[in-house]
Amino acid sequence: VSAADAEVLGCNAASDGYHVVVPAGAHEFSAQLADAGYEPIPVDLSELRKAGGAAKCCTLELRADAAKPPCGRSEATVRTQRSHGRRSEGAIRTDGAAREPYTRERVMTRLDARPTTPAEMESQHAAHNYKPLPVTIAEGSGAWVTDESGTRYLDLLAAYSALNFGHGHPRLLRVAREQLDRLTLTSRAFSNDQTGPFCRELAELCEKDAVLPMNTGAEAVETAIKAARRWGYQVKGVPVDGAEIIVMSDNFHGRTTTIVGFSSDPDSRAGFGPFTPGFRMVPFGDVDALRSAITERTVGVLLEPIQGEAGVIVPPAGYLAAVRALCDDFNVLMIADEIQSGLGRTGTTFACDLEGVRPDLYVLGKALGGGIMPLSAVVGDWDVLGVFTPGSHGSTFGGNPLACAVGREVLAMLRTGEYQDRAARLGARLEPQLRALVGKGLADVRIRGLWAGLDLAPGMASGRAVCEGLLAERILAKDAHESTIRIAPPLVIDEHDLDWAVDRLAHVLAR
């Protein structure tokens, strides 16, 4: 069976030899059974599954006479099945009546007709490119969310830092509602009264000249790549189509084909080639390797100042400053992807600030849209962003007035410094508590501001299993690459809630 069907314990089915009682979420398996001539009976077993059970756990076997064919099948049926291997025609019933063949279409129609939970609908009808924990969130406020049944959970993921300001921050909601009533989208064929002010205010926050607004993080990374290449040809004088960009091992910059093409993660890449040329990879944190990789064709060094998806990997002290110096020496653009690390998370506005470094291009996203709208941007000076001319780049929704209005409020909140300070203060409170767990289930802790990567000790349960344990304790967290738990709560989290979460984590690790 497929991995998704195995996940819902699809194999743990029960059959009388013709009917197969199977968990409702195991659609592909149900269809396979129908193709093979069996009659799947999908049953909603989601409640039972919480205890680790499926259809087979609900059965009580009757073994009156092991020599008899299983109930519901006549000797004739058994013979038919044995001789044909599978039944593609109407099944033979013990009562002798032929029945309509059970086709894949009939099963899917039947599955569609069944009342299912939202999570089961997601499993049935959303592509399986995610593997969500078994919780269905219906509401959120601050650092807390509530599921369909009213159970509250503390959110320690904050949508991968997109919710730095928490769920439904009143300032952001107010602005969003007001803007919804006024104007949502113009496209940039026309100006609107939000895009310009947003760009100016973001450029000021970054102490740069200009902004190119987009929507998702991956789009902003693509934009930075295009900017660096054009800059390479027009300003640096690299021969046409010869530009190279240096990237880091274990990077994560998004999911477009160009971006996954320079990923070192096989799960991200496999099956999606051929990939865009023009990228070179060096080990993250290795200054000498970076220096050796730079050539006269190098136009940019693209890096996350702290690698989030890789498990909150912090480079050696002085690394970012050394990258800056190399980029200056060799006339190469330093491109900092601060999509996850930026906007307050590390206790500073940008993670680069931790080393007093200013990149040539900031790539921003996630929290920029306040957890309400997708809003991303590339921010730089005119000598770089000036390479874009009308028609050379764009996006229908990029810089839309709704996202920009929310983004302007995000910038106003960041200008106070309150959220950066809070991240630093709560991080300082969290750090000793987490370090106390090293040797008690944790092997290592990396933390900057309110952002931590916790490596599980060898022999511990998988990261997924620990997150499931935390879920049972009403805490939402996400593993990174199986053996690391990532902690990135909304910056508005209450300090006592944070203490409680660490206490619960200690409890889960001690099991």
State in angstroms the smallest separation of the CB of 223 from ligand PLP. 12
Cα(106)–Cα(42) distance, integer angstroms: 12
Q: What pairs with residue 213 in β-bridges?
A: 377
State in angstroms the smallest separation of the CB of 308 from ligand PLP. 5
> Given the complex with ligand PLP, which of 232 and 374 has the nearer CB atom?
374
Q: How far is CA 281 from CA 98, 101, 277, 306, in A?
A: 64, 55, 12, 16
Cα(508)–Cα(504) distance, integer angstroms: 6
Residues assigned a catalytic role: 252, 337, 366
State in angstroms the smallest separation of the CB of 161 from ligand PLP. 8
Residues 6+ apart with CB under 8 A from 437: 445, 454, 502, 505, 506, 509
Is residue 133 exposed (0-12), middle (13-18) or buried (19+ Cβ within 10 Å)? middle
Cis check for the bond before 274: say yes or no (omega within 30 of 0).
yes
> Given the complex with ligand PLP, which of 221 and 456 has the nearer CB atom?
221
Q: How far is CA 34 from CA 31, 41, 42, 116, in A?
A: 5, 10, 11, 20
Cα(196)–Cα(250) distance, integer angstroms: 36
Residue found under tokens 């989208």? 185
> Given the complex with ligand PLP, which of 24 and 206 has the nearer CB atom?
206
Eight-class DSSP state of 415: H
State in angstroms the smallest separation of the CB of 32 from ligand PLP. 33
Is residue 42 exposed (0-12), middle (13-18) or buried (19+ Cβ within 10 Å)? buried
Helices (H) and strands (E) in the chain, counts: 19, 18
> Given the complex with ligand PLP, which of 338 and 455 has the nearer CB atom?
338
Q: CA torsion sign, 248 to 250 to 252 to 257?
A: positive
State in angstroms the smallest separation of the CB of 216 from ligand PLP. 4
Closest residue to ligand PLP, Cβ-based?
217
> Given the complex with ligand PLP, which of 154 and 310 has the nearer CB atom?
310
> Given the complex with ligand PLP, which of 339 and 501 has the nearer CB atom?
339
Q: What 3-state class would DSSP assign to 378?
A: strand
State in angstroms the smallest separation of the CB of 463 from ligand PLP. 17
Pair of tokens at residue 472: 């049972």
Residue found under tokens 């219906």? 138
Q: Which stretches of the chain bind ligand PLP, using CB under 6 A?
A: 160, 216-218, 221, 252-254, 304, 308-309, 337, 339-340, 365
State in angstroms the smallest separation of the CB of 255 from ligand PLP. 6
Cβ–Cβ < 8 Å for 443, 455: yes
Cβ–Cβ < 8 Å for 450, 471: no
> Given the complex with ligand PLP, which of 18 and 252 has the nearer CB atom?
252
Eight-class DSSP state of 203: H
